[in-house]
Structure 1
């Protein structure tokens, strides 16, 4: 990795950390703010949270093409401005229509920024450094969210709406800071993108192929299936099904639930780079399969916590272990899945691939809580645990099957420098492309 690439990557990571820090100020308090402080009720608050997901699903199908045509920097800057407007709008709006419109702008802005940042990280890294770069991004995201949430909790006061306006103003400012930092980063891939857009470059077909070309990529389709199941069975359950199970079945207090969430963050922050050293030179398919096993154990631990009614201490330990094991699995995924998506992407479709994976993620995050809500309302918690254990084991099986469609370099990257990998199948006689 060149000095210019390293400098640009550090800028991107700094901006990303500050944005996550600002996000942490509002994420834990948005529901309470809309329903209680603004007095709009739980129904409107739920609509606001749903709007985040719907807005993301609306813009992501078009985001990848914009990134590949215009470059990730202008797309990321546009996303940060939109997100800042949405955040500030949430803080200032007092009507139902106002908060829902602001939530749509915020959700769309964040959805645009995520694949743009991921593409910038790809262009500023090599095969040897990409896993570490994405692990650092994940680490800083969680650290920023945690610190922001902690400070936000000290500022917020439900008796004073102005304290919430202050939180949303801080978040908006952090988005603008991210935009400013990103706009000044000299992303090494940007000149290549601009050159590829010139007439006669011959690269337009890759973009024009768009979704059709991506759907013909068997390995990428399997990664998307894996992504959906992973986000449905883990991330989509944190604030919905798992929390409901912990309170209704395990009978833990809200304070203990907070401790369990803290255990999840602590494992990610403390173990991320230890885990990175253990997994970065191992086959990605096997690492993902290992995540499925870890999460299967986590869901079994959650089930056990609901069965040991005679020992509340054991039940609490089991549910905290569930959250901690999820954190371990997340730490294993961070340096694995996003770099794999990048290495599967053909030339000029890195943004499309990143956006497709982000779209799958958002879909799972929208459907996960909805499915958990239906099951919780029916009280079918036994079926809920069984379903998620099966989903976790399905991750392991699918990951091992996916390995058949990966080239050796895609599945087990070696420390050689390249900008982005062309998608090459194991059965192809074409040699691996390595760009300096």
Structure 2
């Protein structure tokens, strides 16, 4: 990695961390703000959250093409402006139509930002540094969210709408800071994807090219199950299970969420050292087993009666194990998406994977809350245990489709070294003077 690439990457990471810090001020309180502070009711609050997800689903299919045609930087700036407008609009809106319109702008903006930043990180990294770059991004995201949420909790007052206006104002400013920061980044002229599959496909055939890539399709299926089994359950299904079945208080639930963030922040770089040089498919398979244990702990927390401390400990351990698994995925999944992508379609591949994540994040809460709400908690945890085991099976199957270099970047480096060595020896032989 050149000095210029390193400087560009640091600016991208700084802007991303500040944006996550701003998100932390509002993410935990959006439902309460719309339903209670603005007095618009639970129905409007649910519709607001639904609009955030739908707006992302609408724009993501077109985001990849825009990134590959225009470059990730201008697309990221457009996303930050839209998100800033949406966030400030939420803070100032007091009627349902304006709240929904603001949520649509915020959801669309965030959806555009994510694959744009991922593509910028790919452009500013190499296959060997990419895992650490994405792990750093994930670490800073969670640190920013955690710190922002902590400070936001000290500032918020449910009886004062003005306190929420401040929170949304801070978030809006942080989106603009992200946009201003990435605007100063000097990207390389072309992405560093040395091991990508070459292609002459035009952007018009981007989706067709992606769907013909069986390894990428398989990774998208695996990604959907991953996001469904973990992220798609945090804010609804697992939270509902914790309060309705394990009978923990909302304060304890907040402690469990903090434990999840703390596990990521504490273990991220330790885990990175352990997984570097390992086969990516095996790392993802191990995550499936860890999350299987996590869901078993959650199931046991609902079966322990008369020992609330034990039940609470089991539930918190569920969130901790999720955090460990997440820290293993951050240096694994996103770099694999980049290494599977043809150089001309990196934005398309990142956007497609973000779309898969959004679909899982939209369907996961719906199904989870429905099952727990109907009293089918046993069915709920059994389903998630099966999904976690499915992650392991799908990851091992994916590993058989990947090349050795795609599954382990260190193999690619060794292959290049072996290819360069004979050429260097031949060059040395040509320079040896021949006796007359």
TM-score normalised by the chain length of structure 2:
0.92
For residues 402 and 91 of structure 2, the distance between their equivalents in structure 1, rounded to whole angstroms, comes to 47
For residues 86 and 203 of structure 1, the distance between their equivalents in structure 2, rounded to whole angstroms, comes to 38
**Who is 1:15 aligned against?**
15
| Cα RMSD for the two superposed structures | 1.5
For residues 179 and 353 of structure 2, the distance between their equivalents in structure 1, rounded to whole angstroms, comes to 23
Q: Aligned ranges for residues 243-258 of structure 1 at < 5 Å?
A: 243-258=239-254
Tell me the secondary structure at the aligned position of residue 248 of structure 2: coil
Cα shift at 1:192: 3.1
- The answer on whether the counterparts of 2:405 and 2:412 sit within 8 Å (CA) in structure 1 is no
Cα shift at 1:208: 2.3
Tell me the secondary structure at the aligned position of residue 36 of structure 2: helix
**Who is 2:105 aligned against?**
105
Q: Aligned ranges for residues 5-154 of structure 1 at < 5 Å?
A: 5-154=5-154
Larger CA deviation: 368-377 vs 281-290: 368-377
Question: Which residue among 378, 382, 386 is the counterpart of 2:382?
Answer: 386
Tell me the secondary structure at the aligned position of residue 98 of structure 1: helix
For residues 51 and 414 of structure 1, the distance between their equivalents in structure 2, rounded to whole angstroms, comes to 42
User: How big is each residue's C-alpha offset from its partner over 1:204-260, in whole Å with a ceiling of 9 and x where there is no partner?
Assistant: 634222111101111100110011001101000011111111111111111111111
- The answer on whether the counterparts of 2:25 and 2:171 sit within 8 Å (CA) in structure 1 is yes
For residues 93 and 333 of structure 1, the distance between their equivalents in structure 2, rounded to whole angstroms, comes to 38
Gaps of 5+ in 2: 192-197, 414-418, 421-436
Tell me the secondary structure at the aligned position of residue 140 of structure 2: helix
- The answer on whether the counterparts of 1:206 and 1:347 sit within 8 Å (CA) in structure 2 is no
**Who is 2:429 aligned against?**
none
- The answer on whether the counterparts of 1:90 and 1:168 sit within 8 Å (CA) in structure 2 is yes
Q: Aligned ranges for residues 162-201 of structure 1 at < 5 Å?
A: 162-188=162-188, 191-192=189-190
Cα shift at 1:35: 0.8
- The answer on whether the counterparts of 1:128 and 1:415 sit within 8 Å (CA) in structure 2 is no
Tell me the secondary structure at the aligned position of residue 192 of structure 1: coil
Cα shift at 1:263: 0.8
Tell me the secondary structure at the aligned position of residue 129 of structure 2: helix
Cα shift at 1:76: 0.1
For residues 229 and 98 of structure 2, the distance between their equivalents in structure 1, rounded to whole angstroms, comes to 33
Cα shift at 1:13: 0.0
Cα distance change of structure 1 residues 395 and 416 upon mapping to structure 2, 3 Å threshold:
closer
Cα shift at 1:380: 0.4
For residues 374 and 162 of structure 2, the distance between their equivalents in structure 1, rounded to whole angstroms, comes to 39
TM-score normalised by the chain length of structure 1:
0.92
- The answer on whether the counterparts of 1:126 and 1:416 sit within 8 Å (CA) in structure 2 is no
**Who is 1:422 aligned against?**
none
Cα shift at 1:415: 7.8
1:209 and 2:225 matched? no
Cα shift at 1:313: 1.4
User: How big is each residue's C-alpha offset from its partner over 1:300-353, in whole Å with a ceiling of 9 and x where there is no partner?
Assistant: 000011111132111111101000000000000000000000000012100000
**Who is 1:423 aligned against?**
none
Tell me the secondary structure at the aligned position of residue 39 of structure 1: coil
Structure 1 runs of 4+ aligned residues shifted over 3 Å read: none
For residues 275 and 79 of structure 2, the distance between their equivalents in structure 1, rounded to whole angstroms, comes to 33
User: How big is each residue's C-alpha offset from its partner over 1:26-71, in whole Å with a ceiling of 9 and x where there is no partner?
Assistant: 1011111111111101110110011010000000000000000000
**Who is 1:362 aligned against?**
358
Tell me the secondary structure at the aligned position of residue 409 of structure 2: coil
Question: Which residue among 331, 336, 345 is the counterpart of 1:340?
Answer: 336
**Who is 1:197 aligned against?**
none
For residues 347 and 208 of structure 1, the distance between their equivalents in structure 2, rounded to whole angstroms, comes to 15
For residues 180 and 148 of structure 1, the distance between their equivalents in structure 2, rounded to whole angstroms, comes to 20
- The answer on whether the counterparts of 2:63 and 2:351 sit within 8 Å (CA) in structure 1 is yes
- The answer on whether the counterparts of 1:127 and 1:415 sit within 8 Å (CA) in structure 2 is no
For residues 165 and 412 of structure 2, the distance between their equivalents in structure 1, rounded to whole angstroms, comes to 49
Cα shift at 1:203: 7.3
For residues 223 and 205 of structure 1, the distance between their equivalents in structure 2, rounded to whole angstroms, comes to 21
For residues 51 and 204 of structure 1, the distance between their equivalents in structure 2, rounded to whole angstroms, comes to 37
Tell me the secondary structure at the aligned position of residue 128 of structure 2: helix
Structure exhibiting the larger radius of gyration computed from Cα positions: 2
Gaps of 5+ in 1: 194-201, 418-430
- The answer on whether the counterparts of 2:119 and 2:346 sit within 8 Å (CA) in structure 1 is yes
Larger CA deviation: 247-256 vs 340-349: 247-256
For residues 364 and 17 of structure 1, the distance between their equivalents in structure 2, rounded to whole angstroms, comes to 24
Question: Which residue among 319, 324, 332 is the counterpart of 2:320?
Answer: 324
Cα shift at 1:396: 0.3
Paired positions, count:
409
**Who is 2:264 aligned against?**
268
